[in-house]
Every structure is written in C-alpha cells, then in structure tokens.
C-alpha cells in the first residue's frame, strides 16, 4: 500500500469530505475511509501533515488535486473584499474540490436533489451494495460504484425499492443516454457553458445538478451551484436582491471568476458549520 504524506495546512480530510461534494466515506481511527468508483483510500490529518494511504497513488493524487496551490485560492477569495467570504476562506482553507469519477458524480447528484445528506448517503450505499462489485481495502470489504451499463439494466421499480423515490425514473434513462451518445469523457472538450447545456438535456438534470457535476466531476471551478444555503448567503451576506437561483449562480460566477467553485465551497462550509451557530 502506498502512503502519500504532505503539508496539511491547506488540506483538511474532514472539511474536504464533509462539505457535501462526495457521499461515500466513513470516519475511522481518527481519519476517514473514502471511496471513488472502484477504489478506496484512508486519509487523515496528523499534526502538521496530511496522510493518504491507498493502492493507487497516481489516482488519489489526482482525485485530491494535490498539485493545486490552494494558498493562492484563499488569497484570491480574500482579495474580493467581502468580510463573509474572507472569514469563510480562512475557515475552509483545507477544502479540496475533488476530481471525482464522472459517472459516479452524475448519478450521485441526480440522487441528491431535494434530499438530505444522510438519506443521499444511504441511497448510494444501497445502490452500490445491490449493483457494485465486492472489493477489499485494509482488510475490509466494500462495494464499488456501479457502472452505467449496470444501472441501465434495472427498472425504475428497482430504484424505488432502494428508496430513490421520484428520482428512480431518471436512473435508467440517464444510464442509457451515457451508453448511447452522451460520452462523458468526450464532453471534456466542451466549454463550461456548452457542457452545462448538454448535461441539462439529460433526464432529471436541472441547473443545480448540472453545476455540481461540472464542479465535482469535470473540475470546472468557474461553476457555482446554488442551493438553499447559497441563497441564504446571497441575501444575508452579499445583500443581494435576485430571487432566481440561475441568476444568483450567474452573479457569483461573474464575481468569483475561475475560483467560483472553491469560493462556493468555502462559503457553504462556513455558513452551515459556523455561521448557523452564531
């Protein structure tokens, strides 16, 4: 097993995993076991360092985007001159936007809509248990995230049976689209705006889900997903008056530029975990 050890000032295992961008992980031994597609790793902060133990070093170096200079991102956030964003960036400077498996992100965020995180995690765990392959990591077994080909073979009734509700209809429809025309890897060549339009042609994919897929699956950090928390931040901390979430997303994307997705994660994390307690 490989071990990656690096400076932990701009890497927090807890903040990275607990900020709503990923759903397959659990705490263990002062750190976390995390899963991506058919792979697993163990990560933790230990003193001034961060450590990742895994069987595929190259994959997880990319997955955690370890080459990114997050110090510069934090400085860019503070340079915008908003006191809330300034505090959020300092608090959340250990967040890394993950470079996740595109299929997993797409289906996970279809499941996530109008849902809470515990229920999302439970639904995805049931999906993996039913359709994923069994593998082993650290002496324990786990299920991989199923491929689109496996998801396409099941009917909406199956997805209702594992608790997906109205989202059940979307799963086989989107899987079929991925298998028959919507090439996620080829889509990398599209601009962020064009890729968002293409994603929204998929059944069950609206603007917010599309922005999440762009940010967490395609690493388009100029994307800015807007949910209830971000609406609250827009009104309370940016004194905005827009009411349409698409317009709010466009506003933040234009103000924040190429780092919009990182700033969104800083603010979401801060408002939910710190600001809400004040």
Task: Specify whether the CB–CB gap between 103 and 151 falls below 8 A.
Answer: no
Distance CA 52, CA 12 (A): 11
C-alpha torsion sign, points 176, 132, 99, 83 = positive
Using the structure block, give the residue that is written with the tokens 């991989």.
144
278 annotated active-site: no
Of the candidates 39, 93, 102, 208, the residue annotated as catalytic is 208
- Tokens standing for residue 11: 């890497």
Distance CA 273, CA 277 (A): 7
- Tokens standing for residue 143: 């299920």
Task: Specify whether the CB–CB gap between 125 and 29 falls below 8 A.
Answer: no
Instruction: List CB contacts of 223: < 8 A, sequence separation 6 or more.
Output: 192, 196, 211, 214, 215, 253, 260, 261
In the chain the beta strands, taken as DSSP E runs, fall at: 2-7, 25-28, 31-36, 39-46, 49-54, 134-137, 140-143
State the number of CA atoms in the 13 A half-sphere of 104 facing the CB.
Answer: 24
Using the structure block, give the residue that is written with the tokens 């780092």.
259
Task: Specify whether the CB–CB gap between 52 and 64 falls below 8 A.
Answer: yes
Kindly give the interhelix angle for 207-217 and 245-256, rounded to the nearest 10 degrees: 30
Active site residues: 208
């Amino acid at each position: 097993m490989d071990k990656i050890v690096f400076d932990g000032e701009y890497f927090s295992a807890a903040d990275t995993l607990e900020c709503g961008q990923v759903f397959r992980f659990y705490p263990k031994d002062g750190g976390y076991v995390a899963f991506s597609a058919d792979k697993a790793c163990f990560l933790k902060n230990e003193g001034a360092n961060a450590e990742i133990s895994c069987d595929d070093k190259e994959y997880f170096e990319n997955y955690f985007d370890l080459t990114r200079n997050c110090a510069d991102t934090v400085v860019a956030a503070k340079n915008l001159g908003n006191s809330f964003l300034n505090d959020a960036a300092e608090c959340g400077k250990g967040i890394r936007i993950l470079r996740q498996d595109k299929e997993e992100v797409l289906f996970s965020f279809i499941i996530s809509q109008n849902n809470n995180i515990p229920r999302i995690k439970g639904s995805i765990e049931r999906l993996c248990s039913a359709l994923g392959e069994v593998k082993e990591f650290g002496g324990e077994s786990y299920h991989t995230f199923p491929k689109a080909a496996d998801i396409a073979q099941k009917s909406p009734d199956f997805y209702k049976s594992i608790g997906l509700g109205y989202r059940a209809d979307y799963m086989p429809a989107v899987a079929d689209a991925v298998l028959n025309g919507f090439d996620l890897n080829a889509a990398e060549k599209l601009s962020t705006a064009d890729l968002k339009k293409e994603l929204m042609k998929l059944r069950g994919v609206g603007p917010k889900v599309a922005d999440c897929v762009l940010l967490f699956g395609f690493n388009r950090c100029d994307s800015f997903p807007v949910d209830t928390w971000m609406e609250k931040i827009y009104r309370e901390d940016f004194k905005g008056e827009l009411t349409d979430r698409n317009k709010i997303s466009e506003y933040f994307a234009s103000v924040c530029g190429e780092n919009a997705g990182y700033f969104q994660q800083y603010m979401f994390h801060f408002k939910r975990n710190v600001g809400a307690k004040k």
